[in-house]
Structure 1
Amino acid sequence: MMKHQKIPVPVYAGLTEKWSGQKWYYLFRYALVGLLFGIVFVKAEIISWYRIQEMFRFQSFHMYGVIGSAVLTGMLSVWLIKKFRWRAMNGEQITFQKKKFHRGQVFGGLLFGLGWALTGACPGPLFAQIGTGATVVTVTLLSAVTGTWVYGRYREKLPH
């Protein structure tokens, strides 16, 4: 029987140690931001299966406009964070690390896009879709969680 190895968790993802000892209501502001973000997803129709299919069939600019404006907003936000040395909501300094490109990112991106095209959902809007009553998307959510677990389990054996 194979012994399971613990994979080191990056510091930015290690919420367990950062948030231990905090009261539950301390995270309320993050839940509020997530709720507002979900409402924006619904109102902008970016959780719509039909909008996503239009994008992958190159029939509408709607989703490309949303994604493009998100990229521009992200670029502006990173520039402002670096320029003014803004801090996170918990007061922690925000830092950026250089990332090395490797071919696994291409294969992962292709798998991600294929799953997105087939299911009409990517990880961000899954919860908003379920919240609007599209409970069949729970299958996609469980598949995403399973895929993440499989990657974590076999990460060391995959090409990086």
Structure 2
Amino acid sequence: MKYFKYLLSGVFFGFVLVKSEVISWFRIQEMFRFDAFHMYGIIGLAIVIAMIAIQLINKFQLKDQEGNDISIPPKDSQQITRYLVGGTIFGFGWALTGACPGPLFTLAGAGYGIILVPIATAILGTWVYGALRPYLPH
């Protein structure tokens, strides 16, 4: 019961994703083809909301559940290539599957069984990264 509020938040978020058509393969393809503003508007709104939330966290010095300060470390500008390569790989995966990691589980919950393949490969990719992480430059 301690985590019930998180379950409800996740269900509500999934509902919002479905109703806003963010999980729609056609909407995602429209975005990558620059045919419609729909997805760009949603992403832009998410960025604005995140900016406001970060400003509120900083202004009111909010704390996490354990009472620790919430801090967001600055990005290292020396690592720009790393961010570009990672973002490009993420974008290719998003374009190929028609879903980013957020809506994968929403799609599965909505009954799209084929999405279990990208979920399984995402889990496998995370495991491979974890296994190779000690050997990668960080």
Give the CA deviation at 1:90: 5.5
- Segments of 5+ residues of structure 1 without an aligned counterpart are 1-24
- Segments of 5+ residues of structure 2 without an aligned counterpart are none
The RMSD of aligned alpha carbons is 1.4
What CA distance in whole angstroms lies between the structure 1 residues aligned with 2:10 and 2:68? 20
What CA distance in whole angstroms lies between the structure 2 residues aligned with 1:156 and 1:100? 20
Q: How many residues align?
A: 136
> How big is each residue's C-alpha offset from its partner over 1:24-66, in whole Å with a ceiling of 9 and x where there is no partner?
x111111111111010000000000000000000000000000
**Secondary structure, aligned partner of 2:59:** helix
TM-score of the superposed pair, with normalisation by structure 1: 0.79
**Secondary structure, aligned partner of 2:53:** helix
> Which stretches of structure 1, 4 residues or longer, exceed 2 Å deviation after superposition?
86-93, 156-160
Give the CA deviation at 1:95: 2.0
> How big is each residue's C-alpha offset from its partner over 1:81-129, in whole Å with a ceiling of 9 and x where there is no partner?
1101223355543222223241222111111100100000111000111
What CA distance in whole angstroms lies between the structure 2 residues aligned with 1:68 and 1:122? 16
Which residue does the alignment assign to 1:38?
Answer: 14
TM-score of the superposed pair, with normalisation by structure 2: 0.91
Counterpart residue identity of residue 51, structure 1: R
| Greater Cα radius of gyration, structure 1 or 2 | 1
Identity %: 50
